[in-house]
C-alpha cells in the first residue's frame, strides 16, 4: 500500500475510533485534526530529525549547547553489542525509531543480559510507522541508545511538556508517576492550574512550581522557533534542566483533549 494512502487510512479510521467522528481534513479546526493534516502533508526533513532520538541531539546541541543533553554512553545497531562492562551501574536503553520503548537498568549486576538483548532485537525489527501512520518514523535509522539514567532518589525526575505554538509556550503539563499511577496536570506559562486534560487523568496532588520554569520556557521557545507547533519535553532533576524529546504529533492526534470543546479551542492557537 502506498505510504500516503496508509497514512490517510490511519488518520480516518484511528481518529474515528479515538474521537467518535471522522476528522475534517479539508478545513481542520481542532488541534487533533491539524495533527492529522500534518501527518498527511507536512514532509519537512526536520520532522524526521525530531523523531530520531539520536539525530535530535545535534539539533538541540546547535540551539542550546551540550549542557542540556543526557550523557550518551553507547550507540549501536547490533543487539549483541551491549558493552555491559564499560557501562555505569545504572543506565537507560532507548531505540532511536520508536515512542514509549525504554528499558531502565538500575543495577547492571542484576540484569538478565540475554533478556535485554532479546528486547533490543525486538525493537530493531519493528517499524513504529505502522502504529499510527506517523510517516517520519519510517525514515529513522533503527539504532540503540545507551544513556544516563535520570534519577531522583529512585524515582523518575520531574517531566514537563511544553506546547509551543508559533514560537510561544501557551501551556504545559507535568507528568507524575510515569512508571506507576501516571497522572498529568495542565498549567499556563505562569503555573496557574488549567482544568482540562489530555491522555492521562489529573492528580489531586499537583507538583509545586518548578524552580527553573522560566528557563525551561525559554529553552522550549528556542527549540520550537520557526515552527507552527511543536511539543518540547524537558526534565528538571534536582536543579538541572535536561532535554527529553521534541514531538511534532503528540499522541498522533488520536486522543482528544477533554472536556468537550477544548480540542477546538486549542486548535485556534495553531
Domain residues for the domain of 110 are 68-147
Structural domain contains residue 126: yes
In a domain, 179, yes or no: yes
Summarised one tens digit per residue, pLDDT across range 210-240 is 999 999 999 999 999 999 999 999 999 988 9
The domain boundary residue, chosen from 147, 166, 184 = 147
Q: Both 137 and 168 in a single domain?
A: no
Q: Are 234 and 245 in contact (CB under 8 A)?
A: no
**pTM listed for this prediction:** 0.94
Q: How many domains does the chain have?
A: 2
**Same domain for 100 and 172?**
no
Is 70 exceeded by the pLDDT of residue 201?
Answer: no
Answer whether residue 227 is part of any domain. yes
Q: Is the same domain home to 77 and 138?
A: yes
Residues 159 and 132 in one domain: no
Residue 201 and residue 203: Cα distance in Å, rounded? 7
Q: 135-158: per-residue pLDDT in tens?
A: 999 999 999 999 999 987 777 788
One DSSP character per residue, 80-115 reads T---TTTS-SSEEEEETT-SS--EEES-GGG--HHH
Does residue 22 belong to any structural domain of this protein? no
> What CATH number is attached to the domain comprising 209?
3.30.470
Asked whether residue 262 is assigned to any structural domain, the reply reads no
* pLDDT of 179 strictly over 60: no
pLDDT value of position 203: 65
Amino acid at each position: 500500500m502506498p505510504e500516503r494512502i496508509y497514512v490517510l487510512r490511519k488518520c480516518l479510521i484511528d481518529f474515528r475510533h479515538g474521537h467518535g467522528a471522522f476528522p475534517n481534513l479539508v478545513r481542520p479546526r481542532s488541534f487533533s485534526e491539524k495533527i492529522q493534516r500534518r501527518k498527511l502533508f507536512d514532509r519537512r526533513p526536520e520532522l524526521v530529525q525530531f523523531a530520531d532520538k539520536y539525530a535530535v541531539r545535534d539539533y538541540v546541541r546547535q540551539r542550546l549547547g551540550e549542557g542540556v543533553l543526557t550523557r550518551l554512553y553507547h550507540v549501536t545497531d547490533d543487539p549483541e553489542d551491549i558493552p555491559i562492562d564499560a557501562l555505569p551501574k545504572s543506565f537507560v536503553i532507548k531505540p532511536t525509531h520508536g515512542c514509549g520503548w525504554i528499558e531502565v537498568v538500575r543495577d547492571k549486576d542484576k540484569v538478565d543480559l540475554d533478556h535485554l538483548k532479546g528486547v533490543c532485537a525486538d525493537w530493531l525489527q519493528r517499524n513504529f510507522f505502522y502504529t499510527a501512520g506517523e510517516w517520519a518514523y519510517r525514515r529513522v535509522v533503527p539504532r540503540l541508545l545507551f544513556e544516563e539514567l535520570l534519577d531522583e532518589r529512585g524515582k523518575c525526575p520531574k517531566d514537563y511538556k511544553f506546547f509551543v505554538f508559533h514560537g510561544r509556550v501557551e501551556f504545559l503539563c507535568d507528568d507524575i508517576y510515569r512508571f506507576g499511577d501516571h497522572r498529568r496536570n495542565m498549567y499556563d506559562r505562569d503555573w496557574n492550574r488549567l482544568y482540562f486534560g489530555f491522555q492521562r487523568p489529573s492528580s489531586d496532588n499537583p507538583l509545586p512550581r518548578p524552580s527553573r520554569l522560566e528557563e525551561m520556557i525559554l529553552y522550549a521557545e528556542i527549540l520550537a522557533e520557526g515552527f507552527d507547533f511543536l511539543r518540547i519535553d524537558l526534565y528538571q532533576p534536582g536543579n538541572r534542566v535536561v532535554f527529553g524529546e521534541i514531538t511534532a504529533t503528540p499522541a498522533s492526534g488520536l486522543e482528544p483533549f477533554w472536556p468537550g470543546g477544548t480540542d477546538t479551542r486549542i486548535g485556534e492557537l495553531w
